[in-house]
Every structure is written in structure tokens, then in C-alpha cells.
Amino acid sequence: MANTIGARPQEIADRSSFGHWEGDLLIFRREYGKANLTSLVERCSRFTFLTRNPSRHSAGVMAGIDRHLRDMPPPLRRSITFDRGTEFAAFATLRNRLGITSYFCLPSAPWQKGGVENCNGRIRRFLPSDTDLALLSDREIQAVADRLNSTPRKCLGYRTPHEVLGEQIALLKAG
């Protein structure tokens, strides 16, 4: 059973705790094939993962998300919010493999996951919709994520997403 965004605890909406993610798909021109990117943004730190998908099939999209989040400490992978696209239909695999609770925006309301929508706008500065993903290496896609994660943000007190998430990981390791 899918949880709607209204069922999310207030701490997620307030960005007052780590481990809550938003996910979305970035689609590129059809003439370049079915390849697309999943963008994942941690709500508190604004840390971003990008992963290439060969198609919009849900199993492949979920496998890419799993690859990025499985090495995170469990407190940093507690929930993820998606829109209602069919590419996120296999959300239960994240719960079964990683214990991640999934939430879904209301129909026609992707603005309810505004963090990842904002991030997608930033990504489009580097990868506009007419980009042919087949011409980019995984390293080049990672370079876009690295640039986003190393840019100081006013909302983070001019720290970078990388610094904020790194501090949280260090706190978890310290016990």
C-alpha cells in the first residue's frame, strides 16, 4: 500500500531530521532513446545522487536508487518521496531491501517534493533536455552531482551539501 505525502511525519516536512530523500526522473529528448536520469536529494543536507537508467522501467530505476542508498547508514535512508510516475511503481523493493518507507505526492502535484524539483532545475543548467546521455560517461554525470554537492548554499549556512552530510555521517559513526 502506498503512503500519500499527507502521511509523512512532520519532521520530514520540517527538514528537521536526516535520512529523508526525494526522487524524480529527468527525461531527455525522445530521439536520443529511452535513457534518463534519476535524481535523489536528501531533504536536510540537499545532497544529490544522479544515476543513469537505460529506460523508465520501474525495476531498473529502483535498482539504481538501491545502489546509491544501500551503503548509507540506516538512519540516513529512512524515507523517500516520489511523484506518481510509473517508474516508481516498484517502490516496495526499497522497503524490502533497505527498510525505506516511500511516500507519494498527490496526483498532479510534483511541487510537493520541491527539493528535488529545485535540484532538477540546477541539473538542467549542465544537462539541458536536448542532451544526448549516450555521449556522456558515468564520470561526467558524476561530475555534475559533485558540482552540486560542492556548491555552498545559503540555506545550509553557506556550507556545502557534502559538508553537511559528511558531518552527519561522522556523528553517526561517533555514536
- Residue 110 is predicted with a pLDDT of 86
Q: What is the pLDDT of residues 134-167, one digit of tens each?
A: 999 999 999 999 999 999 999 999 999 999 999 9
Mean pLDDT of 96-106: 96
- Residue 77 is predicted with a pLDDT of 97
- Residue 32 is predicted with a pLDDT of 85
Instruction: Kindly list the structural domains of the chain, giving each domain's residue range(s) and its CATH number in brackets, ordered by start.
Output: 3-174 (3.30.420.10)
- Residue 33 is predicted with a pLDDT of 87
Surface-to-core class of residue 152, CB atoms within 10 Å of its CB (0-12 exposed, 13-18 middle, 19+ buried): exposed
Whether 175 shows a pLDDT value over 90: the answer reads no
Q: What is the pLDDT of residues 33-79, one digit of tens each?
A: 898 999 999 999 999 999 999 999 999 999 999 999 999 999 999 99
Give Cα 13 distance to the centre of its chain.
16
Task: Count CA within 13 A, CB hemisphere, residue 133.
Answer: 25
Is the pLDDT higher at 3 or at 2? Answer: 3
- Residue 2 is predicted with a pLDDT of 75
Q: What is the pLDDT of residues 106-135, one digit of tens each?
A: 998 988 999 999 999 999 999 999 999 999
Residue 1: which pLDDT band, with cuts at 50, 70 and 90?
A: low
Phi, psi of 139 (to 5 degrees): -65, -40
- Residue 144 is predicted with a pLDDT of 99
Amino acid occupying residue 165: L
